[in-house]
Structure 1
């Protein structure tokens, strides 16, 4: 399955358009009735709230471009009339409609019932997931010329989607089953996971195993010089090599594969390249006038590469590596994959049969596509499966899942870091956590919904609940008459009579307080500022170069109206600088704080104030009349005891640091490692509300924090000489 196939633009006369659309509306209904739908449930394991995760579904049904209303499940034909959302105008770019309007096709994850989308029979489908803002797609129409939609184009500096982080799941739900995959073919922007269940005990799982911060850190520490420029520090993403200036025409790596390609075309001018293509048979080919012609030994089928490919054509599987008929594309895919993996062994004599399926030979001999090697590392991608380039499905190294009879699927936004189950709770049919298991995300589940997931009321014999969540089981279908509540890990239900009565359940957060951390670089819009690497605990980026009149805007979701504590992590070598918090584009002033002289641009401290905030999802802004400071992140909490925690921690931060005493990794999933532990008397962990959540005396070298909820914590290390060191960590 090759990804990134562009939507076709079909020519059709206006006189036929209305009649055709009416006919296709009828065909949509009949097709979706005959083709079984597959429920896709989205589980949010990211650092973004459900209200800051946006979802859209686009695809093709009966040769027409459609989108799904994820709030209602309705299939709709793409239409220019859908372009009602005002988007950003960058460099005067008003978009294809010349009015700055884009498709109103996204919904917040918090607005999607049970976070589940029923995917009908559909081809060329993409489930688009963006963060802090919807993407700005433009719909041309369902059919005719032009049709389809204008997707994000990050190579265009005036594209309205610049700076918006997004990911996607690509899929086709057809008569021969469900085909779905995650993708890194164009870029990596955020970890993702995908699981599919089907009849006859089918199950397959793909996706990333590490947090976003861990992946970016590993890339920076491992990337060779040729690929270092793939990392976009400003946006916190990793681009496919050919999408960067270094690998494009005139760039330092524009001819990265050139010598290898030349050597292949030269060697097989005087002898044959013979390779085993697995199910596609054995092929033998020779170059003549730059045309590489292959013949299949079993039946004489012919496949051609019409010219020696360029560096870009090899990396992207484009041009001469994606043209011609069926057998042309078979040999093009095989040779393209072999070059990216450096699987064509030029030390072998011509005429020797080569086996391109030997994985141990991939990415060993230079040159090879190091970007692809990175994503296939087993500590990054589950079972080393990922779509790192368009022909990664050659010999089944991609993240493609093909379920002949699919039943359901789960998308894990944020990947699997820190998760032991496919959801925050797992229901088992055996009391010893054995037998069939079904992962549940937060939400309510009626008896019919549980049955659809393969759970009958008398099946529930044991449940595991992730820390910070609880499961409530009910004896009727409208969630009334609580039967039992379990709030901790390893909760086991063994009451048979109770199991017989259970007909609905609810999975929800077990936390009553509200706290959210917003990284300063995750702004939606800004004016005047820049980002830079920070030396503050946790690393990453901070916002700097802030001058008078500069500002940043952030989307927030506040659960209830009330007074909140806003804590800013700031640094400044200046005196008398201030920032103010605003909403309604500056029309509503929420309050201001003065930033002290911390002694340098990377000497960090906390400042805070109380503000009154309304409930809902809206934009807030940080602005300044003075400038002259840096900001790393801000925390909004409804617990005013955070004032005491802020003051206490600020006092502790002034204590002299001991560079020999360190904590790693950061961010962390389960285990912290303490270097210099022999000098530590006590280790105390506080949440950002100032509440002590863990304390260890004589902690040793390893501290288990698996039970802590995802979030930001402060660790106070009290040394044996009574001095104190404080470190911020991020629990993933």
Structure 2
């Protein structure tokens, strides 16, 4: 474990010295923290249930180390007496107390009222979020020596937190506003999102856009050999390079930046490095005896790097890259960031002013910190903003949010994958869509929940609702009383003494629901393998399924109710079974028997009705028999289920099945139909079961340029009334 024995800054655990904190340090020392309490609401978009998500809040108030009881909102001084929870003992490590006991400071998300934590004025605060187990922190005390807490340390193989997935939101709520960020500085463990609202229309949003499985797969497909070892397959996380053996002393990449640093220190022994540090001014420096001394042109201020940095010091912003006085650290931050990004251009002549703010030059010329480049990809991180190394806030490339007058914040566990970026409905205070704008996803909202989200004084005056959804406003807080329903439009609600007293609302789907989950897109699994399939649409199926094997998947169900689940399966065996589960197997949703289909690639459908709650959560497919393959499953309401089942389950002769083909797949504009002479009608459905195109007696080409990007089912009805269905992907 890592011990924190003095007041921690926003980046204490990663040893980062954020430039913004230089401006805040005077405020911290004089205890003038913001008196504005900021509600942080946790939205669970993860594969874990609320009961399996654990939350703790630690920080500093008036030089005392404190923790927040998230069940009651009480602020408590850290004390050794808080260490009452028995933790795991790994390699004989009994922890700092030598008794295997750790702080009882975590609560399950399901235990936190309204899933909202009220954050007071506080420094060095960390909201710790772990999955399937609490973390094991050790409290030393509120003040004196030692004080603070021992935090997780992934570099320690006997740390009791080894194998526990967790994430962190770092924040300071001070007199000059709220400073908060997500972080990838030590590792990536799970997607996260962070949104902050403030007065005068302030709003900023950061976080990951893809699922955990997609991020891990993208890393594995893109990572160069030097960084491949950052992926910890055992724990399903990605570690910062310096936390891996390859980049540590004696490792293959221990001198990764060595040639670049040597070239910088060599060139500027006889030449001047001049760079523009933005608000910090223009600096000019030269090396003498490995000491790099810079002078600011505007006032002669001096900043020094006292020695040529090591590989670890460059990557972590530690040692000579985090020492000395205020201006030393400003210079060190600039140069450290420039080296990680490879922004120092060694081809420029003596004294040419370099602009390190041009992000199009980042991560282009080797060597650079590829780990950082990965997290700044726009398809991974919203607006390419993330905290991938300690000085990522240089030129504001980090995920830091500074709200001068904060009102509220939302933490999205699991990031934004599968969520509408602005919600499916938005409520406004004014009929001109002003005053405030609060995005809502499907769900029920009481007045207190709306207030926590920023819908203040129950004075909703206008709504915008996305196609396929409806919003119902109720007069009473228990979803009763006179109602107003709005669907798929921009609506100003006339003030008739109802809207200004509306106390609750529901956001619901207003259309047939259906979602297709490819079997190979599991988030976690045990025992199975993927293989190529000859089923319609190609791609992969999941096979080699034995008794006791399982796969889990993330789903978002718009409203609670009965759904039809259809499985695309194949097996040469009789009476194999699968079951659908929730809550890691604690909730059994139902089982189906799979008939002998005649082969591992002879596909059919089996289905059952299940009752599902609304929300985003994880479901699992498990088996006590094994012995079958699965290509995909469809979850749909009964109307769509009948359509999809009828489309897919019509009997086909094997020869006819081969005779009709559509290509290419995926397709951009034009499909080519082989065997079109035998087709009476071609009908295209989206995954909601809606017919989007129908052609009678089609020729050998079908123009689908007008269709939106996505997955479609094409039903081919032959002249003998038999049916074949093919799944296509429109690019």
Q: Same fold (TM over 0.5)?
A: yes
Structure 1 position 375, deviation (Å): 2.7
Distance 1:616 1:722, change over 3 A: closer
Structure 1 position 426, deviation (Å): 1.3
Distance 1:647 1:448, change over 3 A: closer
User: Which whole-Å deviations, capped at 9, do the CAs of 1:366-406 have from their partners, x for residues lacking one?
Assistant: 22222322333344433332212110111111121112221
Structure 1 position 344, deviation (Å): 0.8
Moved more, 403-412 or 156-165: 156-165
Contact 1:646-1:690 within 8 A present in 2 as well: no
Distance 1:275 1:138, change over 3 A: same
Contact 1:549-1:624 within 8 A present in 2 as well: yes
Which consecutive residues of structure 1, in runs of 5 or more, have no partner in the other structure? none
Contact 1:60-1:122 within 8 A present in 2 as well: yes
Contact 1:418-1:670 within 8 A present in 2 as well: no
Aligned-partner Cα distance in 1 for 2:158–2:76: 29
The total of aligned residue pairs comes to: 728
User: Which whole-Å deviations, capped at 9, do the CAs of 1:190-239 have from their partners, x for residues lacking one?
Assistant: 43332222233333232334455554555455444444444455655443
Q: Name the SS of the counterpart of 1:170 in structure 2.
A: strand
Q: Name the SS of the counterpart of 2:677 in structure 1.
A: helix
User: Which whole-Å deviations, capped at 9, do the CAs of 1:14-73 have from their partners, x for residues lacking one?
Assistant: 999999x99999999998997210112233444555455443322222333333232322
Structure 1 position 507, deviation (Å): 5.1
Q: Name the SS of the counterpart of 1:653 in structure 2.
A: coil
Moved more, 359-368 or 592-601: 592-601
Distance 1:102 1:715, change over 3 A: farther
Structure 1 position 121, deviation (Å): 0.9
User: Which whole-Å deviations, capped at 9, do the CAs of 1:297-355 have from their partners, x for residues lacking one?
Assistant: 44443333232222222122123222333222222111110001111111122333322
Q: Name the SS of the counterpart of 1:546 in structure 2.
A: coil
Contact 2:433-2:462 within 8 A present in 1 as well: yes
Aligned-partner Cα distance in 2 for 1:13–1:134: 21
Q: Name the SS of the counterpart of 2:584 in structure 1.
A: helix
Distance 1:591 1:504, change over 3 A: closer
Distance 1:489 1:682, change over 3 A: farther
Aligned-partner Cα distance in 1 for 2:591–2:259: 60
Distance 1:285 1:602, change over 3 A: farther
Distance 1:559 1:153, change over 3 A: farther
Contact 1:66-1:75 within 8 A present in 2 as well: yes
Aligned-partner Cα distance in 2 for 1:97–1:654: 72
Contact 1:43-1:423 within 8 A present in 2 as well: no
Q: Name the SS of the counterpart of 1:657 in structure 2.
A: helix
Aligned-partner Cα distance in 2 for 1:400–1:11: 15
Distance 1:18 1:7, change over 3 A: closer
Moved more, 63-72 or 78-87: 78-87
Structure 1 position 176, deviation (Å): 1.7
Contact 1:458-1:496 within 8 A present in 2 as well: no
Contact 2:15-2:318 within 8 A present in 1 as well: no
Structure 1 position 179, deviation (Å): 0.4
RMSD: 7.5
Distance 1:526 1:284, change over 3 A: same
Distance 1:453 1:212, change over 3 A: closer
Contact 2:208-2:382 within 8 A present in 1 as well: yes
**2:10 alignment counterpart:** 9
Distance 1:188 1:83, change over 3 A: same
User: Which whole-Å deviations, capped at 9, do the CAs of 1:482-530 have from their partners, x for residues lacking one?
Assistant: 33244656555335443344345455778x9999999999999999889
TM-score by length of 1: 0.72
Aligned-partner Cα distance in 2 for 1:37–1:392: 28
Moved more, 192-201 or 433-442: 433-442
Q: Name the SS of the counterpart of 1:656 in structure 2.
A: helix
Aligned-partner Cα distance in 2 for 1:665–1:142: 66
Distance 1:16 1:521, change over 3 A: closer
Contact 1:10-1:144 within 8 A present in 2 as well: no
Structure 1 position 362, deviation (Å): 1.9
Moved more, 156-165 or 374-383: 156-165
Structure 1 position 703, deviation (Å): 14
Contact 2:34-2:120 within 8 A present in 1 as well: no
Moved more, 600-609 or 245-254: 600-609
Moved more, 295-304 or 260-269: 295-304
Q: Name the SS of the counterpart of 1:229 in structure 2.
A: helix
Q: Name the SS of the counterpart of 2:24 in structure 1.
A: helix
Aligned-partner Cα distance in 1 for 2:527–2:298: 65
Contact 1:458-1:502 within 8 A present in 2 as well: yes
Contact 2:246-2:252 within 8 A present in 1 as well: yes
Contact 1:660-1:676 within 8 A present in 2 as well: yes
Structure 1 position 119, deviation (Å): 0.8
Structure 1 position 417, deviation (Å): 4.7
Aligned-partner Cα distance in 2 for 1:219–1:339: 22
User: Which whole-Å deviations, capped at 9, do the CAs of 1:58-109 have from their partners, x for residues lacking one?
Assistant: 2222333333232322223334554555666667766656666654444444
Q: Name the SS of the counterpart of 2:657 in structure 1.
A: coil
Q: Name the SS of the counterpart of 1:718 in structure 2.
A: strand
Contact 2:34-2:174 within 8 A present in 1 as well: no
